[in-house]
């Protein structure tokens, strides 16, 4: 049984349950010798049990106190000499007498009285035969001798207790010694760890004692100051000794403004700025935070401060302030330039519109009279004269087309953009109708897949589709039928519409430049005026979208543009619905329903 599981009375005297101590066993043997009875025992009793700790002629063990014969001796504190327990009122019903646990007849027992007067047990002898007549007097004398044995038991138990206490004291002392050594080692390791941590951080650490004398610099602080802490230095000498200055970097710091002393005097400091500028070392702009160290009794034992280097941050702040000032200045200049540019653009657009209109009328008159001249005087002009007339008419036609393109470009920039829900298929029908002559003469085949209903300005987008289809037809290849495919797909920010052809194509390096005004791929060919794609970009950008060119599979150009509509991903409106809206259609040279 473990020490925790042993009864307290045994644990108190250092005895084990079921194990017989030789010294106490000798007492039991003496009791047998003195009494002449066959069995003897030493008992210790607690409030609930009797514990037989030494015995001769009977087993060791514990039994309930209520059935113990020795319990009455402990309670009375007097010796008992019983010739026949069956005839004694105290014991006749005990299971040790009745046969339930034993058949005790002769019984001699004396109490074991501790030094403090408490009865803790008994020394007893017993047998299964009654005492003969006249022997009880002799036994009473022997009982007195058993009392000597009881005192011997007390001495033995007390000796064991003292020996155990001594062992406990020695063990405790050894434990305390080992604990002290362990604590000392841990303190040394902790001190080394703390010092290593202090030296590893890129923050300056400074500590002071209760008198404000600097006692510690970590590695970073030592590097900033160029010297170590000097505990012998008076507080008044700290600003000069440690080269401390106000945030301006020029004014020496007063002693009472040093963050370490502020923390010691006021309990804490936060966000205190100063400059450390020792000769021959870089000046450091630092921000300090710290607090006083307080003992358990409330007295201050010193202070500690952590300093963060904000030199680069302060320099950045100044640079950002300068940059911000420059940005503000440039923004103001840009506002003026933008206003001037807007005014200039408005003037140019107005000029283009007015000039185009004013040029178109007289040019029409000139073209009309030249044509009339050719009709009326054809015979008199001769073949050469008629050729000159046709040359004039072709030039007038090119001029009229250029004026029309200029007017379209001006209108695309100046007209109001009024988005409304618009079916792109209807706009495509209209654009194909506008190009009926060119489509018919070229034999072009225009195919369209499902197109959505989206928010846009129908007039401007119709012009956009007409320009893109016109380019596809105009720049077709002579060796194959012109094929144009119009499709739409949901993009992250709206609908992406694609107009793909199998024409001559646009080289990759020119796909961005062709959107500039008056830019043509082949100026010598005389085809186009360099305004169509510029007008397309203007229309798309007025809708908040974007436009670009890609190569078509198998050759040609795919013009793509995105019309934002503020909706998330989805399928085109009408796709999968009833009627002919769900499939691709071939567009004739006249408007047809898709």
Tokens of 538: 């203007």
Which of 213-217, 310-314, 587-591 has the weakest average pLDDT? 587-591
Q: How confident is the model at residue 252 (pLDDT cuts 50, 70, 90)?
A: very high
Tell whether pTM > 0.95. no
Going by their DSSP bridges, the two strands 61-64 and 214-217 should be labelled as unpaired
Which residue blocks in 36-134 are alpha helix, DSSP H?
70-76, 95-98
Q: Are 64 and 51 in contact (CB under 8 A)?
A: no
Whose CA is closest to 498, among 522, 453, 464? Answer: 464
The span from the CA of 487 to the CA of 343, in Å, is: 38
Looking at residue 591, its pLDDT comes to 34
Looking at residue 578, its pLDDT comes to 29
Averaged over 518-522, what is the pLDDT? 59
Max Cα-Cα span within the chain = 191
Looking at residue 561, its pLDDT comes to 94
In the predicted model, is pLDDT for residue 127 greater than 90? yes
Q: Are 199 and 218 in contact (CB under 8 A)?
A: yes
Kindly report, residue by residue over 562-591, the tens digit of the pLDDT. 998 755 444 444 333 323 333 334 454 333
Tokens of 577: 């619905």
Number of DSSP helices (H) and strands (E) in the chain, helices first: 14, 20
The span from the CA of 164 to the CA of 54, in Å, is: 19
Q: Within 13 Å of residue 512, how many CA atoms lie on the same side as its CB?
A: 1
In the predicted model, is pLDDT for residue 181 greater than 90? no
The span from the CA of 471 to the CA of 562, in Å, is: 19
The span from the CA of 415 to the CA of 402, in Å, is: 19
Q: Dihedral, CA atoms, 257, 263, 266, 268, nearest 10 degrees?
A: 120
Looking at residue 153, its pLDDT comes to 87
Percentage of residues in the chain having pLDDT higher than 70: 80
Q: What is the CATH number of domain 204-309?
A: 3.30.450.20
Which of 115-119, 386-390, 411-415, 417-421 has the weakest average pLDDT? 411-415
CATH class in words for 416-587: alpha beta
3-state secondary structure of 121: strand
Tokens of 541: 């950008």
Beta bridge partners of 446: 484, 587
Euclidean distance between the first and final Cα of the chain, in Å?
100
In the predicted model, is pLDDT for residue 51 greater than 80? yes
Q: How confident is the model at residue 496 (pLDDT cuts 50, 70, 90)?
A: very high
Instruction: Write phi, then psi, for 573 (nearest 5 degrees).
Output: -60, 135
Q: What is the CATH number of domain 8-168?
A: 3.30.450.40
In the predicted model, is pLDDT for residue 425 greater than 60? yes
Q: Are 444 and 499 in contact (CB under 8 A)?
A: no
In the predicted model, is pLDDT for residue 195 greater than 80? no
Q: Are 425 and 594 in contact (CB under 8 A)?
A: yes
In the predicted model, is pLDDT for residue 353 greater than 90? no
In the predicted model, is pLDDT for residue 335 greater than 60? yes
CA angle 579, 585, 588 (to 5 degrees): 120
In the predicted model, is pLDDT for residue 558 greater than 90? yes
Looking at residue 560, its pLDDT comes to 94
Tokens of 402: 């250029």
Q: Are 63 and 71 in contact (CB under 8 A)?
A: no
Which of 20-24, 77-81, 198-202, 480-484 has the weakest average pLDDT? 198-202
Whose CA is closest to 273, among 316, 305, 240? Answer: 305
In the predicted model, is pLDDT for residue 281 greater than 60? yes
Give me the sheet containing 119-127, strands edge to edge: 61-64, 49-56, 39-45, 119-127, 106-113, 80-82
Kindly report, residue by residue over 440-485, the tens digit of the pLDDT. 889 999 999 999 999 998 888 998 999 899 989 988 998 999 999 9
Helical (H) or strand (E) element with 322: helix 311-376
Looking at residue 573, its pLDDT comes to 40
The span from the CA of 88 to the CA of 300, in Å, is: 78
Whose CA is closest to 51, among 83, 82, 7? Answer: 7
In the predicted model, is pLDDT for residue 81 greater than 60? yes
Tokens of 202: 């890129």
Q: Dihedral, CA atoms, 191, 194, 197, 203, nearest 10 degrees?
A: -130
Q: How many residues does the chain have?
A: 594
The span from the CA of 194 to the CA of 137, in Å, is: 83
Looking at residue 490, its pLDDT comes to 92
The span from the CA of 48 to the CA of 68, in Å, is: 10
The span from the CA of 137 to the CA of 140, in Å, is: 5
In the predicted model, is pLDDT for residue 133 greater than 50? yes
Whose CA is closest to 37, among 16, 11, 56, 18? Answer: 56
Q: 8-168 with 204-309: one CATH topology?
A: yes
Place of tokens 């607690």: 46
Averaged over 75-101, what is the pLDDT? 90
Whose CA is closest to 81, among 139, 129, 135, 146? Answer: 139
Kindly report, residue by residue over 224-235, the tens digit of the pLDDT. 888 888 888 888
Q: How confident is the model at residue 2 (pLDDT cuts 50, 70, 90)?
A: very low
Query: What ranges do the domains of the chain cover?
Result: 8-168, 204-309, 317-405, 416-587
Averaged over 221-225, what is the pLDDT? 88
The span from the CA of 13 to the CA of 51, in Å, is: 12
Which of 87-91, 163-167, 406-410 has the weakest average pLDDT? 406-410
Residue 353, burial from CB neighbour count under 10 angstroms (0-12, 13-18, 19+) = middle
Scored b (16 or more CB within 10 A) or e, 133-146 reads eeebeebeebbeeb
Q: Are 419 and 456 in contact (CB under 8 A)?
A: yes
Q: Are 450 and 411 in contact (CB under 8 A)?
A: no
- Average pLDDT along the chain: 81
Q: Are 125 and 32 in contact (CB under 8 A)?
A: yes
């Amino acid at each position: 049984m473990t020490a925790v599981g042993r009864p307290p009375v045994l644990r108190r005297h250092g005895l084990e349950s079921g194990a017989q101590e030789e010294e106490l066993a000798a007492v039991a043997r003496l009791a047998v010798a003195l009494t002449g009875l066959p069995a003897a025992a030493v008992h210790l009793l607690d409030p609930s049990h009797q514990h037989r700790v030494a015995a001769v002629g009977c087993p060791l063990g514990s039994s309930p106190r209520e059935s113990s014969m020795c319990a009455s001796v402990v309670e009375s504190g007097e010796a008992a000499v019983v010739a026949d327990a069956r005839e004694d009122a105290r014991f006749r019903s005990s299971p040790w007498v009745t046969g339930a646990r034993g058949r005790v007849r002769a019984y001699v027992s004396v109490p074991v009285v501790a030094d403090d007067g408490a009865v803790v047990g008994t020394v007893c002898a017993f047998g299964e035969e009654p005492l003969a007549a006249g022997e009880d007097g002799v036994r009473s004398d022997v009982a007195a001798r058993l009392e000597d044995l009881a005192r011997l038991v007390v001495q033995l138990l007390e000796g064991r207790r003292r020996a155990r206490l001594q062992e406990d004291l020695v063990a405790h002392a050894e434990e305390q010694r080992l604990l002290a050594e362990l604590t000392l080692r841990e303190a040394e390791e902790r001190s080394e760890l703390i010092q290593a941590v202090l030296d590893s951080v890129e923050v300056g650490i400074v500590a002071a004692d209760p008198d404000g004398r600097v006692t510690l610099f970590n590695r970073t602080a030592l590097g900033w100051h160029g010297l170590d802490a000097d505990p012998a230095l008076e507080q008044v000498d700290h600003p000069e000794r440690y080269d401390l200055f106000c945030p301006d970097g020029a004014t020496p710091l007063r002693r009472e403004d040093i963050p370490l002393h502020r923390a010691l005097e006021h309990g804490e400091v936060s966000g205190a700025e100063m400059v450390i500028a020792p000769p021959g070392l870089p000046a450091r702009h630092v921000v300090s935070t710290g607090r006083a160290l307080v003992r358990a009794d409330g007295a201050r034992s010193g202070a500690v401060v952590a300093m963060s280097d904000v030199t680069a941050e302060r320099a950045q702040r100044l640079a950002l302030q300068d940059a911000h000032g420059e940005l503000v200045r440039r923004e103001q200049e840009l506002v003026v330039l933008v206003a001037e540019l807007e005014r200039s653009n408005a003037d140019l657009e107005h000029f283009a519109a007015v000039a185009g209109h004013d040029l178109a009328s007289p040019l029409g008159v000139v073209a009309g009279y030249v044509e009339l001249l050719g009709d009326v005087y054809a015979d008199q002009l001769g073949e050469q004269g008629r050729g000159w007339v046709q040359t004039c008419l072709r030039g007038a036609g090119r001029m009229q087309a250029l004026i029309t393109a200029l007017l379209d470009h001006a209108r695309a920039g100046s007209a109001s953009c009024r988005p409304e829900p618009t079916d792109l298929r209807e706009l495509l029908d209209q654009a194909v109708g506008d190009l009926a002559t060119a489509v018919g003469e070229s034999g072009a085949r225009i195919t369209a897949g499902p197109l959505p209903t989206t928010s846009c300005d129908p007039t401007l987008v119709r012009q956009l589709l007409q320009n893109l289809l016109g380019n596809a037809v105009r720049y077709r290849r002579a060796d194959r039928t012109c094929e144009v495919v119009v499709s739409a797909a949901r993009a992250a920010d709206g609908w992406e519409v694609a107009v793909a052809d199998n024409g001559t194509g646009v080289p990759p390096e020119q796909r961005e430049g062709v959107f500039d005004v008056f830019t043509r791929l082949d100026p010598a060919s005389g085809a186009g005026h360099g305004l169509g794609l510029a007008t397309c970009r203007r229309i798309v950008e007025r809708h908040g979208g974007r436009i670009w060119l890609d190569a078509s599979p198998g050759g040609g150009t795919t013009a793509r543009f995105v019309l934002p509509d503020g909706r998330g991903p989805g399928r085109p409106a009408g796709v999968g619905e009833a009627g002919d809206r769900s499939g691709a259609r071939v567009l004739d040279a006249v408007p047809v329903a898709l």
